[in-house]
Every structure is written in structure tokens, then in C-alpha cells.
Amino acid sequence: MATNGAAAPAQPAAAGQTAGPQQVQIREVQQSNTRENRTAAHSHIRGLGLRSDGFADANAQGFVGQQQAREACGVVVDLIRAKKMAGKAVLLAGGPGTGKTAMALAVSQELGTKVPFCPMTGSEVYSAEVKKTEALMENFRRAIGLRVQERKEVYEGEVAELTPEESENPLGAYGRTISHLLITLRSSKGTKKLRLDPSIYEAIQKERVRLGDVIYIEANTGAVKRVGRSDAFSTEFDLEAEEYVPVPKGDVHKKKDIVQDVTLHDLDVANARPQGGQDVMSMMGQLMKPRKTEITEKLRGEINKVVNKYIDQGIAELVPGVLFIDEVHMLDIECFTYLNRALESTISPIVILASNRGQTTIRGTGSLQANDPGLISAHGIPPDLLARLLIIPTHPYSRDEIRTIIQTRAKLEFATPTAPQLADNPQALKVTASLNQDALDELTKRGETVSLRYALQLLAPASILARARGSENSIISGADVLEAASLFWDAGRSAAGLRERAKDFIS
């Protein structure tokens, strides 16, 4: 038995075997913090699929059909990029499963990551802690970006000299204090000697800067950052692990343009919850469970003044983003009234609404006690707000379009797993499968008669059944789809079963 810290002796080769060099096993370690993107409902959507002339292809970038709606969304994207759409609203109106949410997602992908895109559903505004209008305004502010451009003066180089200058203590004591700090920085183009404030000396001590280190100092704030050790000292033997970096190129004194993208909601939260002091009440408040509180209108007004001041000075630029409200008919009459006012404000984003309702009651206008059905309007939206909207209709998919969508989703869901995925999880349910013609016809029929969502949801169960049946190359047949449909009912069959066996259920 080998003791701890000592390697066990190698076992002698067995008789009749030649002792040769054994193959060393090397295997890549899968990082635990790497996140694999899940195959979601709209993973196949990569954009609106428009040509350079603005017209939509029948099948492009994962989008199938809805050419007119996609072309209309393309015009909206161009207006957003030109900043001529702020304060206006668009309504995507169509039945369930006609691609409204996918179209809003495609708009966000066309705009890119620099333009804020804030998705929400109509039911998110109801909370016991925050009133409905406050939740709406929070999402409004999340969808408005502020691009702050700041020019920073930086001194960057290798420390060639570091001399603190001392002076008599002004308080009359026997000790001495640091009056200033002399530091010489060297870069590839030359050296520069600086006289620094004594407060920077504390930051240098905190970073443990010594001769030969590469540092940079921000002239505006006095912040000091140690980048690493100069590679000229890489031959030194040291027990500590040092990061060796080359001597900075260019001059010691540099000017850097830094661009930061924040949203107005980020500024609201940062100013609404400032860091507390060290008194007992502040510490107790931090220990208690944080409760979501409302941000006052006065605070938002002060932040708007500062933002307008930055915009006038040319320091910042306002970036109106997109607020997407799905299931907008879930908002009540108070929220719609607030939306009218918010759209008319000077700082407002582009609002995209989506609804699958026809003529329906506006929420919050009826009363069960008074037997009042309430105000009935198109899409569950008040007429005064409807008059402000640009409405983009979406239409049901044709049989050929449903077939193409099913083929696209099957390619995505049954993609061959990569080697790291298989090594990390050999029992993963990511099945490599394919559809034969009978299965595709059966799924298309279900998508046309029942719903497209139901047909797409049958893909994964049918692939599992095909694998359990021992199908060659995991080819899904029409029988697998029929078996999956018999195991998993759609909403229509479930309702028919309830009517037939109504006495078996509690009503």
C-alpha cells in the first residue's frame, strides 16, 4: 500500500506480455458553467428573411410564409433604425399559431443587441406589491437605452521609478506624511515622469505595485489598475504565479473613447437604492428580506433632467428600443389609459402589441354584480388606443407552409448531437431521427385540422416511439405519429371526451 504523497510502484508485466508504453488517456473536461442553448419554440428563427429590396422570400432565415406581415415588420425595423418610430405603436393581430411572437423575436434579431428589446406579457403587470401602471413604466424604461460616450485620459506603462516624497506633518506631530508621489512610466515610445496626488499612493499600495509592473492610471478618477508584470522580467524565478505582459505600445499618455450602453431603468434602480451607511438601521435593512418598491415619479423626473443635460452636451445619445407586450388583451382599462399617456411622452420606446382575440370584452369594464357585460371592442383594446396603432395582420398557414415548418423544426430538433454533448450526457434524449413521407403527411394533416403547435409537439414523442420500435436509423413512420397521437390528445379530443363522460367528472 503506497503512503500518501508517494506514488505506488509500477506492476511488473505479466508472463508472455511485452511491457510497452501504455497510451496516456487525455480527455477534455467539459466546463460546468458553459450553458447549452435549449431548443426552444422559436430557436429556428434567425431574422425576418427579407431581401435587399425589402421583399420577403417564402422561406428564409427560418421564417415560412407571412410575406406581407414580414415586409411590414421590415419597414418598422427601418423606421426604428432611422429613429423615426419612437412613441408609435404596432399591433400584430392574428389567430393562435400564426407567428406573432416569432415575428416580434425576428424584429429584435434584425435590430441587433445594441437596441434594447424588452418582452413582456399582459398578465405580468398584476402584483400585490407594485401597482399596474408602475410595472408598465418599468418596462417602458427598460426599453429605452442611453449610449454614453466618455473620453478617458489614461497613463499606461511599465513602472521604472516609484518614489514617495515626504513632508512635515501639518498637525505638528513628530511623524511625516506623503506630500506627493513621483512615478516614471515607460512605454515603447518613451518615458514620462508624473507627480501624483497622495491619495493615488494608497491605491498603488493596495494594488501592490512595484518596479517592473505594468499599470495604468485614469487621470479623471485617479483609479490605478495593475495589468501584470513586464515580460522583460519573465526570466526571474518566483514562487508566485505572475502574469507577464508586454510593455504597452505607443505613448504613455493615451486618450481612450469608452462607450457604455445602459437603460433608463438601470439608472432608476441605481438611484432608487443607494448604498446605505454603516449605522444599525442600514445594516438591519440589508438583512431583512428586500421588498420590491415603487420608483417615484419625482426621481424619474430628476433622472430625465440629467439625461437631457447629457444629450445637450453631446455626451450621451438616446436609443429608443422596442417594448413587446404579448397577450395585450390581458391588460385592463386602467393600463390602456396609461399606455395612451405614456406613448405621448417625450421619452418613449416603440411599442409592439400582439393579440389573438377578436371582438371581446375589454378587461375591467364589466361587472358581474350589475350583470354588465362591459365594453366590447376589437382585440380587447379600447377604440381610442386602436386608432393610434398600425395593425399588421397575420393569416393562417397553408398546407404547404405547415409542411415546410414541420420539416424545419424536425431538422432542428433531430440534429446530430456534438461529441462534447454525448461525452457529457450519453443518456441525452437528443435523438437523431428523420421523418418519412407518411409521417410528414400525417403531421401536416394534424397541423391543418387541429393546430400547428400540436403537430410540432408530436415530433419528440414520435421519435421516442420509433427508437423503442427498433426502427432502422430512427426513421419516424406514419404509424409512430398515429401512436403518439393516440397517447397524447389534442384540446378538441379532450373536450369531446369530457362531453361523452361528463358524469364521471366533477362539475
The CATH code of the domain that includes 369 is 3.40.50.300
> Average pLDDT, whole number, for the chain?
79
The enclosing domain of 418 has a CATH number of 1.10.8.60
Average pLDDT over residues 38-43: 64
Answer yes or no: is 285 within a domain.
no
What pLDDT, on a 0 to 100 scale, did the predictor assign at position 434?
Answer: 78
Average pLDDT over residues 495-500: 88
Interatomic CA distance for residues 322 and 105, integer angstroms:
11
Q: Which residues pair with 257 in a beta bridge?
A: 151
Question: Of 259, 279, 308, which residue constitutes the final position of a domain?
Answer: 259
Answer yes or no: is 265 within a domain.
no
Q: What is the pLDDT of residues 211-236, one digit of tens each?
A: 888 888 887 777 888 888 888 777 66
Average pLDDT over residues 193-202: 82
Strands 434-435 and 389-393, sheet pairing: unpaired
**What's at 439, amino acid-wise?**
A
Q: What is the pLDDT of residues 120-139, one digit of tens each?
A: 888 888 887 788 888 888 88
Report which of 79, 9, 5, 99 is spatially closest to residue 405, judged by C-alpha positions: 99
Which band of pLDDT confidence, cut at 50, 70 and 90, is reported for residue 353? very high
Which band of pLDDT confidence, cut at 50, 70 and 90, is reported for residue 349? confident
Q: Which three cell numbers stand for residue 328?
A: 395585450
Average pLDDT over residues 471-481: 83
Report yes or no: 447 and 454 within 8 Å, Cβ to Cβ.
yes
What pLDDT, on a 0 to 100 scale, did the predictor assign at position 170?
Answer: 64
What pLDDT, on a 0 to 100 scale, did the predictor assign at position 257?
Answer: 77
Which band of pLDDT confidence, cut at 50, 70 and 90, is reported for residue 429? very low
**What's at 290, amino acid-wise?**
P
Interatomic CA distance for residues 475 and 296, integer angstroms:
60
Both 346 and 331 in a single domain?
yes
Which band of pLDDT confidence, cut at 50, 70 and 90, is reported for residue 285? low
| Segments forming the whole domain that contains residue 407 | 399-500
Interatomic CA distance for residues 419 and 377, integer angstroms:
55
Interatomic CA distance for residues 339 and 145, integer angstroms:
19
Report which of 250, 248, 254, 253 is spatially closest to residue 158, judged by C-alpha positions: 248
Both 76 and 174 in a single domain?
no
Contacts of 178 (CB under 8 A, 6+ apart): 164, 165, 166, 167, 198, 201
Both 407 and 384 in a single domain?
no
Answer yes or no: is 73 within a domain.
yes
The enclosing domain of 161 has a CATH number of 2.40.50.360
Average pLDDT over residues 92-110: 86
Both 138 and 201 in a single domain?
no
Contacts of 414 (CB under 8 A, 6+ apart): 431, 432, 433, 434, 459, 463
Answer yes or no: is 69 within a domain.
yes
- pLDDT score of 35 more than 60: no
Question: Of 349, 371, 393, which residue constitutes the final position of a domain?
Answer: 393
Average pLDDT over residues 398-411: 87
Interatomic CA distance for residues 383 and 380, integer angstroms:
9
What pLDDT, on a 0 to 100 scale, did the predictor assign at position 346?
Answer: 80
- pLDDT top residue among 455 and 178: 455
Interatomic CA distance for residues 76 and 54, integer angstroms:
11
- pLDDT score of 3 more than 50: no
Average pLDDT over residues 15-42: 51
Answer yes or no: is 274 within a domain.
no
- pLDDT score of 279 more than 60: no
Interatomic CA distance for residues 177 and 168, integer angstroms:
6
Answer yes or no: is 280 within a domain.
no
Q: Which three cell numbers stand for residue 96?
A: 393562435
C-alpha angle 51/42/262, rounded to 5°?
85
- pLDDT score of 9 more than 50: no
Both 84 and 176 in a single domain?
no
Both 405 and 378 in a single domain?
no
Report which of 413, 436, 467 is spatially closest to residue 41, judged by C-alpha positions: 413
Both 125 and 156 in a single domain?
no
Q: Which three cell numbers stand for residue 466?
A: 420509433
Give the number of residues written for the chain. Answer: 507
**What's at 334, amino acid-wise?**
E
- pLDDT score of 455 more than 70: yes
**What's at 252, amino acid-wise?**
V
Interatomic CA distance for residues 374 and 357, integer angstroms:
16
Interatomic CA distance for residues 209 and 121, integer angstroms:
52
Interatomic CA distance for residues 71 and 67, integer angstroms:
6
Both 176 and 204 in a single domain?
yes
Both 342 and 382 in a single domain?
yes
What pLDDT, on a 0 to 100 scale, did the predictor assign at position 280?
Answer: 57
Question: Of 393, 408, 437, which residue constitutes the final position of a domain?
Answer: 393
Largest separation between any pair of C-alpha atoms in the chain: 100
- pLDDT score of 275 more than 70: no
Answer yes or no: is 273 within a domain.
no
**What's at 455, amino acid-wise?**
A
- pLDDT score of 4 more than 60: no
Answer yes or no: is 42 within a domain.
no
Both 388 and 403 in a single domain?
no
Both 162 and 254 in a single domain?
yes
What pLDDT, on a 0 to 100 scale, did the predictor assign at position 426?
Answer: 52
Sole residue written with cell 405519429: 481
Which band of pLDDT confidence, cut at 50, 70 and 90, is reported for residue 408? confident
What pLDDT, on a 0 to 100 scale, did the predictor assign at position 91?
Answer: 92
- Max mean pLDDT among 282-296, 443-457, 460-474 falls in 443-457
Interatomic CA distance for residues 266 and 152, integer angstroms:
22
pTM for this structure? 0.68
* Total domain count, the chain: 3
What pLDDT, on a 0 to 100 scale, did the predictor assign at position 241?
Answer: 63
Both 129 and 185 in a single domain?
no
Residue 182: count other Cβ atoms within 10 Å of its Cβ.
Answer: 13
